[in-house]
Amino acid sequence: MNVPMTTALKGAEKLKLKQSFNPQRSVQEKIRLNAAWGAIQPIDLDLAHLEKHRIVGHLAGSESLAFDMLRTRLLQQMRDQGWRRVAITSPTAQCGKSTVALNLALSLQREPETRTILLEMDLRRPSLCAMLGASQGSDLAPFLTGESPFEDSSVRVGENLAIAASRTPVAGSAKIIGSSYLPLALSALEDAYAPDLMIFDTPPMLLTHDVMTLAKHVDCVLLVAGADVTTPKQIDQCERDIAGQAQMLGVILNKCRHQGPGYGYGTYD
């Protein structure tokens, strides 16, 4: 997995750094946040099911090395910029963007001081529930439209990762994503749970207009390219489309069959 990332900084945005990551909170605020996160229904991971779906981010070892490296670089970049919202997308289908999003979220869950929320915004073709093997929680759409609280639409892994997904395609997804209520819902989510990171698993860029609608609600975009399905022309087109809407954080080359010498060396926390 190749994970180049942009390095341009916006000086003014650095001022948000201490507010976004590891803020100094009062005892009362910590108690409130612990109660809010505790109200989200916890789930136990089915290790055999995760392995079947190529989910390894929960493991501390060579299996998750690529995602742990991505986690480290993502955290550094987001902290430097004072960002909290990252969208993960791909040019087309079959690039593995949702697999990357879930593996990254589970890798972040192993960082005890980092609270992460993963939102499945690919309402047209949801897949996270199937990969995670979760039967608890309801669909994300009712929260995005203000019909139910977030704790009813999500599940919790450990103490610091919340995942909100959908079991079946959502009718009228474009209307939900383009609604004026969506930014209010996202702001309320940040106020209630103070996540250090919010990951948006979005539809493929070149197949729908949903990503361009969502781009104004995120800080940056991470593009997942499939080694056997994505062309350089498609990557260039995505970068042009994103420009002016959000920062392009980087491109991940997924589904590489060749791993260089030394891959898998050592163990990692």
Tens of pLDDT, residues 50-88: 999 999 999 988 889 999 999 999 999 999 999 999 999
Helices 182-193 and 27-38 cross at an angle (nearest 10°) of 120
Query: Which CATH number is 42-254 given?
Result: 3.40.50.300
Mean pLDDT of the chain: 86
Phi, psi of 224 (to 5 degrees): -105, 120
Cα–Cα distance between 144 and 147 in angstroms, integer? Answer: 8
Q: Domain spans of the chain?
A: 42-254
Mean pLDDT, rounded, for 243-255: 89
Examine the pLDDT at 12 and tell me if it is beyond 90.
no
Please give the average per-residue pLDDT across 19-28, as a whole number.
65
Q: How confident is the model at residue 262 (pLDDT cuts 50, 70, 90)?
A: very low
Give the residue-averaged pLDDT of 247-263.
Answer: 72
pTM of this prediction? Answer: 0.85
Of all residues in the chain, the percent with pLDDT exceeding 90 is: 71
pLDDT at 81: 93
